[in-house]
Amino acid sequence: MSVPSLPMNDGRSIPQIGFGVWQVPDAIVTDATLCAFENGYRHVDTASIYENERGVGEAIARSGLDREDLFITTKVWNRDHGYDKTLANFEVSLDLLGIDEVDLYLVHWPAAMYDLYADTWRALVELHRQGRARSIGVSNFKAPHLRRVIDETGIVPVVNQIELHPWLPQTELRALHAELGILTEAWSPLASGELLDDPVIGAIGSKHDRSPAQVMIRWHLQIGNVVLPKSITPTRIKENIDVFSFELDDEDLAAIASLESGRRTGPDPDYFDEL
Ligand code: NDP
């Protein structure tokens, strides 16, 4: 299974499907990630707060794959915001991952109440300048956060990784991303599993002889998102990347659009202050 890549605004490219590993314990993330690699995933999305970078690193080392064929993302956590702390945290992540460079380093949340995200972004700009973070982006940023880091540094994040699924299609923010040249990465693309039993999604799946997860992943691909499905179940890991031999039609897309409710499964970034 070969996943297409999308061009980023820094001249690099990113595989459109990434393997999400949030809530996957370090003890099992190695097997899950190796299973993903065996099924064709080449992009892994971790974070320092997931406490599984060591296990992801072990999968990278054991995979036998060429490092240049992999795309590894990690993120700096809220308590590590600030210029110096971010630089220090980056070293810890690289060490745990056992690699010399990450493909993508993200500011995990703006945590704007602490007002350190612009300094954190400056540290990412420096890591990018050094070539150790090959690309840099943000996560959970709203329009004012995006505009501030761009205004203060002149550097546009390559991606903004945000909660996005049929309940929360993020139409306005996606339009701003398009205007600024930022790719949209969708986290909790299956609404953390909560949308798998939705009858509208189920009916579209029956029509195409595909599972609800495949319908949703296909929807993300067709609207231009980078999509990060998570599973620790080998059959599902395989199923979630087997989405390139069918296509949703306009009627399917309209039916999925009708599911918009604004419902989040995770926190609203304006109020998320966890350290
Ligand atoms: P998803 O929306 O990917 O849903 C995962 C859930 O769906 C799990 O319970 C999984 O079960 C189940 N599932 C997956 N595939 C299938 C399938 N084919 N059939 C049936 N059930 C399935 O959820 P996440 O919330 O984990 O988000 C995905 C990724 O997004 C994260 O792992 C992380 O990388 C990123 N993320 C980023 C955040 C951020 O702040 N930047 C916040 C949250 C997530 P099982 O594993 O048991 O198979």
Q: Which helix (H) or strand (E) holds 251?
A: helix 250-257
Backbone angles phi, psi at 184, to 5 degrees: -100, 125
Q: Which atom of ligand 1 lies at the shortest distance from residue 109's CA?
A: 40
Task: With cut-offs at 50, 70 and 90, classify the pLDDT of residue 100.
Answer: very high
- Provide the domain limits for residue 179: 12-256
How many folded domains does the chain comprise?
A: 1
Task: With cut-offs at 50, 70 and 90, classify the pLDDT of residue 236.
Answer: very high
Q: How far apart are CA 24 and CA 230, in angstroms?
A: 9
What does the pLDDT average to over 96-101? Answer: 98
Q: How far apart are CA 34 and CA 99, in angstroms?
A: 16
Residue 63 lies in a domain: yes
With contact defined as beta carbons under 8 Å apart, do 133 and 124 qualify? yes
The pLDDT, as a whole number, for residue 272 is 97
Residue 103 lies in a domain: yes
Q: How far apart are CA 8 and CA 23, in angstroms?
A: 28
The pLDDT, as a whole number, for residue 10 is 98
The pLDDT, as a whole number, for residue 235 is 98
Residue 264 lies in a domain: no
Q: What residues have CB less than 8 Å from 190, skipping those under 6 apart?
A: 165, 196, 212, 213, 216, 217, 229
The pLDDT, as a whole number, for residue 147 is 98
Catalytic-residue membership of 50: yes
The answer on pLDDT for 1 being more than 80 is no
Residue 6 lies in a domain: no
Cα of 47 vs centre of ligand 1, distance in Å, is 14
Per-residue pLDDT reduced to its tens digit, 23-62: 999 999 999 999 999 999 999 999 999 999 999 999 999 9
Q: Which atom of ligand 1 lies at the shortest distance from residue 193's CA?
A: 7
Q: Higher confidence at residue 180 or residue 2?
A: 180
Cα of 45 vs centre of ligand 1, distance in Å, is 11
Cα of 212 vs centre of ligand 1, distance in Å, is 13
Question: What's the token pair of residue 148?
Answer: 């501030």
Residue 65 lies in a domain: yes
The pLDDT, as a whole number, for residue 2 is 85
Cα of 229 vs centre of ligand 1, distance in Å, is 5
Residue 153 lies in a domain: yes
Q: Other CB atoms closer than 10 Å to residue 78's CB: what's the count?
A: 20
Q: Which residue has the tokens 């002889």?
A: 209
The CATH number of whichever domain residue 171 belongs to comes to: 3.20.20.100
Residue 3 lies in a domain: no
Burial (CB < 10 A; 0-12, 13-18, 19+), residue 92, is middle
Q: Which helix (H) or strand (E) holds 38?
A: helix 26-38
Per-residue pLDDT reduced to its tens digit, 198-219: 999 999 999 999 999 999 999 9
Task: With cut-offs at 50, 70 and 90, classify the pLDDT of residue 20.
Answer: very high
Kindly state if the Cβ of 57 falls inside 6 Å of ligand 1: no
The total number of residues shown for the chain amounts to: 275
- Report which protein residue has its CA nearest ligand 1's atom 14: 231
Q: Where are the beta strands (DSSP E) in the chain?
A: 5-7, 13-15, 19-20, 43-45, 71-76, 102-107, 133-139, 159-163, 183-187, 226-227
Among 144, 122, 143, 141, smallest CA distance to 133 is for 122
Per-residue pLDDT reduced to its tens digit, 65-89: 999 999 999 999 999 999 999 999 9
Per-residue pLDDT reduced to its tens digit, 175-206: 999 999 999 999 999 999 999 999 999 999 99
Q: How far apart are CA 274 and CA 212, in angstroms?
A: 32
Among 217, 163, 206, smallest CA distance to 22 is for 163
Q: Using a pLDDT cut of 90, give the percent of the chain over it.
A: 99
Per-residue pLDDT reduced to its tens digit, 112-154: 999 999 999 999 999 999 999 999 999 999 999 999 999 999 9
Residue 132 lies in a domain: yes
With contact defined as beta carbons under 8 Å apart, do 231 and 211 qualify? no
Q: Which atom of ligand 1 lies at the shortest distance from residue 213's CA?
A: 18
The pLDDT, as a whole number, for residue 60 is 98
